[in-house]
A and B are shown apart, each in its own frame.
Chain A
């Protein structure tokens, strides 16, 4: 039981390049989330999904796209990376709302030059 995994762990991009971050969970959770963490700002929600085939915008969605084609996977895409997207990205999942806690992946450190 691996929990929530993220690929890759580290990545350096040049401005304008694209990339996809992969999140996978093996807990059969319905809800999945992508956050970014910047110094002094806590975690901010980028996009989330409440089930396979569904996605919704969070607090800071601009410049990102997501897809949830399979229940266990949630992909975060950057079509044209900008230095402002330099951050640590966390994926999380949970069974449903209410009291259920979110389980987090180990994070991806992305640097955009």
Chain B
């Protein structure tokens, strides 16, 4: 079975600073993918970044990067130069080979508040 753990229910950061949102996972899949989604107060789910388990380099998308440490089973999201619009819920999710890459399993999320 796959499991995602996000231990930080809430995080605070000042504008323009960097912040790391933690995500650890548990799986027996030989191949899997890790995703981060953002959910602002308006409610929609926005895809941010993807990391494959066999990718050699950490994924980056603009101000978002994924700090992937396979041996520690962690996939932390790093947001550089935080902006007020980054205030939102952030969800880590994974999908694996054992389920035919068909199903995403989500963590419980971290609420990020960015202050001026």
User: What are the residues of chain A within 8 A of B104 when measuring CB–CB?
Assistant: 33, 43, 45, 102
**Option from A33, A43, A96, A103 in Cβ contact (under 8 Å) with B47:** A103
User: Given A41-B108, A42-B109, A43-B106, are A99 and B44 also a contact pair (CB < 8 Å)?
Assistant: no
B-side contacts of A40, CB under 8 Å? 108
Secondary structure type dominating chain A contacts: loop
Q: Which of B65-73, B76-84, B95-103 lies at the interface with chain A?
A: B95-103
Interface size class of B (residues with CB under 8 A): 20 to 34
Does the CB pair A104–B50 fall under 8 Å? no
In angstroms, Cα B107 to Cα A106, docked, is 20
- Knowing A88-B43, A90-B45, A107-B43, the reply to whether A97 touches B109 (Cβ < 8 A) is no
Q: Mark B1-24, 1 if CB is under 8 A from A, else 0.
A: 000100000000000000000000
Interface size counted on chain A using CB atoms at 8 A: 24
Q: Which residues of B contact A (CB under 8 A)?
A: 4, 33, 35, 37, 43-45, 47, 50, 52, 91, 93, 95, 100-109
List chain A positions with a Cβ less than 8 A from chain B: 31, 33, 40-45, 48, 50, 58, 88, 90, 92, 96-99, 101-104, 106-107
